[in-house]
Amino acid sequence: MRIQKRTLFIGIIVWLLFFGWWFRGFLFKNWQFRLFSLSSWRHLIHEFRAGWQISSKSDWIFLFSFILAPFIFALLWYLMQKINWRKIWKKIWSILRWPFLAKKKKELKVATAAYTPKQPALAAAPYRPVAMPKTGHKMQPITPQKSFLNNSTAMGDFSNSSMEPEKDFSNRFPPMPTYTPEPKTSKPEPFTNEAFAEMANTPLSEIEIPKMEPAKEDISQLLEQAGYVPLSPVMVGNRQADFVMASATDLIVVLYDKEPGDWLADEESFNDEDPLWFSETDHRVSPVFQLKQTTDALQQKIGDVLSVRAVLIEKEGTIINAEDMMKTWNDLKVVVCRTGIGGPVELPTGTEIFKEKQEKISDETLAKIKELL
C-alpha cells in the first residue's frame, strides 16, 4: 500500500512531538531514563537480567508506558490526519497579515470613492447651418470702381488707342450680402436659484442614479455560432468551469464570476500565497489565478494538439480597477470580459470576444482531446 505524502509528513511531525519531545521528557522526569541514550538502555537490560522484580506502582507505570506508547502514537497520527490543516493555517495566516489586508481595504475605499462609472457617449447630432436673420434689408451688390482708362479729364482721350477697354468682372462673383442686425428690445431675465433650491430640498431616496444597461447575450449560443464544440467540464478551484469548448486550433475554458459587489483585483502573490481580490467587507482568491492554473494544467495534458485559452466573464460584480489590470491579464494570457450586469463598461462584452468564426474541430482531433482529458 502506497502512503501519501501528506500522511507521511503528518506521521513524522507527530512522532517528533510525541517521542522526541513529550514521551522522552516524561521518562526522564519520572525515572531519569533517557529514551535516546544507549547507556540507559544497557542499564535497563542489565536490571532485567539480574532478576529485577516489578513490584511497585512506579515500575508498573514505567512498563505500561512503553507498551501503550506505540498505540497512543498511532491514535494521534490517525486523528491528526482528519484535521484540515490547510484551512486552519489560512485562518492563522489571515490574522497574522491583518495589517496588510487593512492597507488593501483602505486602498479599496479610496478607489471606490474615486470611481465614477462611464456612460456610453451620445451620438453626435447632424450639423445644420444657421439660417440667415430676416431683417428686411435688400442685398446690395458691390459695384466696381472706374479704372484710370475712363478718366478722360486726367489722362485725355484714348478712344483711338490700341489698348483694350476695361472688362466688367461684376457678374463673375456673387454679390456679398449686407445686413444690419435688429436692435434688441427685450432685456434678459434675471438669474434665479429656484431650480437649485428645489433640487437641494429633494430627498436622496427620490434621486435616481443612472444605471449601466446590462449586456443581454447567450454565451453558449455565441460559442456555438463561432464554431466551438462542447467538451466535458473541468474543475477551476473548488467549482466547475461553465464552458469547455474546442475548435480546430483552440481549447477555451470559460468561467463566470458571479460574486456581486465592487472588487479590487490584485494578481500579485504575497509570501507565496494565492493572489486575492478585495471588497469592502471580504476578500477571496483571484478567479483569474485559479483559471490560469487550470488552463496551464490542461495545456500540459494535451501538449501541442491545441492552444488552451482562459476566459473569465464578469457577470454580477464590478472590477473597479479593470482598466489598470488589462495589461496584467494580457500578460497572463487570460481574457476578461463582461456580460449581464457585470462591469465596468471598459471591459468588452462576450459578443465582442466571440465574434470571429472558428474552423470546426475534426472528429479525429476531438476524439484525441477527449481521450487526453
Task: Tell whether the model's pLDDT for residue 336 goes beyond 90.
Answer: yes
pLDDT in tens, 124-137: 444 444 445 444 44
CA-based radius of gyration for the chain: 43
Q: Where in the chain is the domain with CATH 3.40.1350?
A: 219-372
pLDDT in tens, 201-232: 666 666 555 566 788 899 989 998 999 999 88
Q: In the predicted model, what is the mean pLDDT of residues 192-198? A: 58
- pLDDT at res. 333: 92
Which residue type occupies 99? P
Q: What mean pLDDT value characterizes the chain?
A: 77
Task: Just give the CATH number of 219-372.
Answer: 3.40.1350
Task: Tell whether the model's pLDDT for residue 179 goes beyond 50.
Answer: no
Q: In the predicted model, what is the mean pLDDT of residues 282-311? A: 91
* CB-facing half-sphere around the CA of 25: CA atoms within 13 A: 6
User: Is residue 206 a contact partner of residue 200, using CB atoms and an 8 Å limit?
Assistant: no
Lowest mean pLDDT among 25-29, 195-199, 302-306: 195-199
Question: What's the chain look like in SS3?
Answer: CCCCHHHHHHHHHHHHHHHHHHHHHHHHHHHCCCCCCHHHHHHHHHHHHCCCCCCCHHHHHHHHHHHHHHHHHHHHHHHHHCCCHHHHHHHHHHHHCHHHHHHHHHHHHHHHHHCCCCCCCCCCCCCCCCCCCCCCCCCCCCCCCCCHHHCHHHHCCCCCCCCCCCCCCCCCCCCCCCCCCCCCCCCCCCCCCHHHHHHHCCCHHHCCCCCCCCECCCHHHHHHHHCCEECCCCEECCEECCEEEECCCEEEEEEEECCCCEEECCCCCCCCCCCEEECCCCEEECHHHHHHHHHHHHHHHHCCCCEEEEEEEECCCEECCHHHHHHHHHHCCEEEEECECCECCCCCEHHHHCCCCCCCCCHHHHHHHHHHC
How confident is residue 162, by pLDDT bands cut at 50, 70 and 90? Answer: very low
Lowest mean pLDDT among 65-69, 108-112, 261-265: 108-112
How confident is residue 348, by pLDDT bands cut at 50, 70 and 90? Answer: very high
Q: In the predicted model, what is the mean pLDDT of residues 159-166? A: 48
